[in-house]
Structure 1
């Protein structure tokens, strides 16, 4: 699940063009995950949708299993956007913080692992909340000059609060 290579870049330091290209890819790869988080936090449909490939999959089942929930595998960008934003907009305020990103690029595909701390508060009663620390395993594909998520698996290391109040 984790990207565990012993260095950040694979391009030889003597090849400036290759280093720049790899750094651009890595920035765009990380940005796909940032668009995922901020799109949710702002309830911005366009920004959130821009994180995903049309045939993307979002698998929240490993995380939800920690508190006994059984959500379906979400398939397709439109389904993911409609489901997540529909579940949160007007009901749940969120903040997502991405840390410890590790990236491996292989041509037009990439793998990203990161830790995401996600705070969820019920809008009507902010005393009901769930704070989650989730490892993310992300497969991405190149889409022109940017990268998009093809598959995202979210696990959970720990949580506090009431995830069932947020997610059901």
Structure 2
């Protein structure tokens, strides 16, 4: 599930073209997760949707299980975008920080592991919040010159605040 290779690049260092291609892929792969995060934070439907493949899955169940919630598996880009943005827009402000990215590329598929800190504040009462530290396991596919998320599994290491006030 997580990427644990002992180095970042797999292209031979003497093959400049292969190294450049791999670096481009890695940049586009992490950009998919950045589009996911910033799209939510800005409530930008187009940016958020651009992170996902049409047949994407978003699995927030492992994280939600930490506080006893049982959300459904979200399937399909349109469902994910509509559900998440409807849950937050006008009600919850979010900020996401993406770090510790590890990437494994295999042709037109890739895996990404990252650590994401997600702050959620109720717009009506910012004192009500939930700060989550979440390991992400992401499967991606190539989409032309960019990469998109096919499957995103969000776990939770710890949280503070009241996730039930944010997520229900």
TM over 0.5: yes
**Who is 1:32 aligned against?**
32
SS of the counterpart of 2:67?
coil
Partner of 1:72: 72
Matched, 1:109 2:109: yes
Name structure 1 gaps, 5 residues minimum: none
Q: Deviations over 1:112-144 (max 9, x none)?
A: 000000000000000000000000000000000
Aligned residues: 168
Structure-1 residue corresponding to 2:162: 162
- Partner secondary structure for residue 35 of structure 1: helix
Look up the match of 2:2: 2
Gaps of 5+ in 2: none
What SS does structure 2 have at the residue aligned with 1:66?
Answer: helix
Partners of 1:47 and 1:166 lie apart in 2 by: 22
Alignment of 1:121-140 (within 5 A): 121-140=121-140
Q: Matches of 2:74 and 2:159 in 1, distance apart? A: 22
1:62 counterpart residue number: 62
Secondary structure class of the residue paired with 1:93: strand
CA distance in 1, matches of 2:91, 2:40: 12
Could you list the runs of 4 or more consecutive aligned residues of structure 1 that deviate by over 4 angstroms after TM superposition? none
What is the TM-score of this pair, normalised by structure 2?
1.00
Tell me the SS of whatever aligns to 2:159. strand
Return the offset for 1:2. Answer: 1.1
